[in-house]
Amino acid sequence: AQSVTQLGSHVSVSEGALVLLRCNYSSSVPPYLFWYVQYPNQGLQLLLKYTSAATLVKGINGFEAEFKKSETSFHLTKPSAHMSDAAEYFCAVSLLSNFGNEKLTFGTGTRLTIIP
Amino acid sequence: DADVTQTPRNRITKTGKRIMLECSQTKGHDRMYWYRQDPGLGLRLIYYSFDVKDINKGEISDGYSVSRQAQAKFSLSLESAIPNQTALYFCATSPNGAWETQYFGPGTRLLVL
């Protein structure tokens, strides 16, 4: 079984400050990990993903995430927040399956607010 | 044109009515999914299909059914709508593989009175 926990349903940071959104996962086999972003009144789009290559993954809009197996974490960071980063962010996990039932399991989301 | 489209974008219906939400994709992907989004609960999988002849239940399939009419089309039906099915519904597609990105439609906002 797989699961994802996102700590903090709401995070507020000042413009120009560091963004840190936390994600911890649980899985019985090596996972594939994703961060998706949802801007207001839109569908989700991929921000970045970890697929067992480099543990530090760079995504769009200056975001990056580091896979830490020992901590079962995949936290999302951005050095300097911009007003356009205001959105809801979802961490998700997927596992390779021999039974053909691979599914993406989402966390409950973190709403990021940027303070001018 | 958008790669994944959903119709309608907004719908208000009454308890007990049957309603169908439609999804079309031009990405040529075999895999398609239906999710619902509720505040504080994230996205939960309703049904998924890995090819035209393959339909699988997700974690919250009760009260829903689906039809995969073609590789490009995947419809979600609420046989008898109830108020707790009020939610934002998303369709998504992906290439084959657990590591592949899912591509989402713009969503359908459904209100059941």
Structure-token pair, residue A114: 């940027």
* Distance of alpha carbon B22 from alpha carbon A99, whole angstroms: 28
Structure-token pair, residue A35: 């961060």
Compare CB distances from A49 to B90, B101, B106 and report the shortest one's residue.
B101
pLDDT tens profile A48-100: 999 887 899 999 999 999 999 999 999 999 999 999 999 999 999 987 776 66
Written in H, E and C, the secondary structure of A36-59 is EEECCCCCEEEEEEECCCCCEEEC
Contact status of B89 with chain A (Cβ, < 8 Å): no
Cβ–Cβ below 8 Å for B48 and A103: yes
Cβ–Cβ below 8 Å for A95 and B98: yes
Other beta carbons less than 10 A from residue A26's beta carbon: 13
Whose CA is closest to B106, among B6, B1, B3?
B6
* H or E segment and range at residue B42: strand B42-51
- Chain A contact set for B102 (CB, 8 A): 44, 46, 104
pLDDT tens profile B61-71: 999 999 999 99
User: What sign results for the dihedral spanned by CA atoms B95, B100, B106, B111?
Assistant: positive
